[in-house]
Amino acid sequence: MARLTANGVELYYEQHGWDKPGDVLVLSNGVLMSTASWAFQKAVLKRDYRLLLYDCRGMWQSEHPPGPYSMEQHADDLAALLQTLDVESAHIGGVSYGAEISLMFALRHPDQTRSLIVAAAVSQIDPQLRAMIDAWRVAVEAGDPELLFRVTVPVNFSEPWIAANGAALELARQRYRQLDMDAFYRLLVSFSELDLTDDLHKISAPALVIVGEDDILKPRKYAEIIARELPNSEFAVVPNAGHAVIWEQAGVFNSLVLGFLAKQCGR
């Protein structure tokens, strides 16, 4: 757990399993996530890979600089972080906002991209998705963490998970009260400008595209676009999982990732 300055911003990062040689696997957070959100993945993935987790600019323990953020900027931040850590190339993955950063990273830094893991992501913003994100922006503009919690939870989690995880949701509600609303607003604006579909064919790295069967926020139709446009992709739909597929079906998600990476590493 450490911090360093990369591309002019101080980034918080964690290295797990780096006491051994091996390929580096990067996992980038969803927009409301932190490095702690990968708890169900960390212990499993660090056995075979050198796992790098980090908060991108504007998130939690990293610096929250003023000014607009962009996916291009996030991708360049990650490239600089890897360079500073002497990592020539890595398997680049993420969920939701982090998966979209990963797609941009592969476009801007192909030589640093060994493979891609794209979970619960989109490559463009259509009117339906924009309407949902606009509701988030209203809550942020009002400075109301309780309202933000109420408009995000129903689309981030499946109904069965919500019903069975009241304690976890209460912890999330408390966490929202610590959110830097100004920085989060800049992250939302960055997301709202996403428009990558027409460029996805330029990505040559092998990719795994994952979507939860019951994802409301970014449903299967978006993942199908990504998988179709990427020239070297595999596509997996995870049953009984909403947008938070890494939590709701952690075991399935981890197995998909390990199976995909094993093929890339010749295992």
Residue 53 sits in a domain of what CATH number? 3.40.50.1820
Is 148 domain-assigned? no
- Per DSSP, the residues of 22-64 read --EEEEEPPTT--GGGGHHHHHHHTTTSEEEEEEPTTSTTS--
Answer whether residue 178 is part of any domain. Answer: no
Q: Is residue 206 part of a domain?
A: yes
User: What is the number of structural domains in the chain?
Assistant: 1
pTM summary value: 0.98
**Contact by Cβ (8 Å): 28, 94:** yes
Mean pLDDT of 118-123: 99
Residue 110 CA, distance from chain mean position: 18
Can you give the pLDDT at residue 266?
84
Mean pLDDT of 185-204: 98
How much is the mean pLDDT over the chain?
Answer: 98
Give domain status of residue 180, yes or no.
Answer: no
Q: Is residue 185 part of a domain?
A: no
Question: Is residue 1's pLDDT more than 90?
Answer: no
For 63, the domain range is 2-126+195-264
- Whether 207 is covered by a domain: the verdict is yes
The answer to whether residue 89 sits within a structural domain is yes
Place of tokens 């979970």: 119
Residues 221-267 have pLDDT tens digits of 999 999 999 999 999 999 999 999 999 999 999 999 999 999 999 86
Q: Strand, helix or coil at 179?
A: coil
**75 vs 92: CA distance, rounded Å:** 11
Q: Quote the pLDDT of residue 216.
A: 98
Express each pLDDT in 64-102 by its tens digit. 999 899 999 999 999 999 999 999 999 999 999 999 999
DSSP strand pairing (2-6 vs 9-16): antiparallel
| pLDDT, tens digit (0-9, with 9 covering 90-100), for 8-36 | 999 999 999 999 999 999 999 999 999 99
Rounded percentage of the chain residues whose pLDDT exceeds 70: 100
* Alpha carbons 71 and 214: distance in angstroms, whole number: 26
Residue 229 lies in a domain: yes
Question: The dihedral of CA 89, 125, 243, 225: what is its sign?
Answer: negative
User: What pLDDT sits at residue 267?
Assistant: 65
Q: How far is CA 192 from CA 28, 188, 233, 240, in A?
A: 18, 6, 25, 28
How confident is the model over 118-128, as a mean pLDDT?
Answer: 98
Sheet strands side by side (includes 90-95): 2-6, 9-16, 50-55, 24-28, 90-95, 113-119, 207-212, 233-238
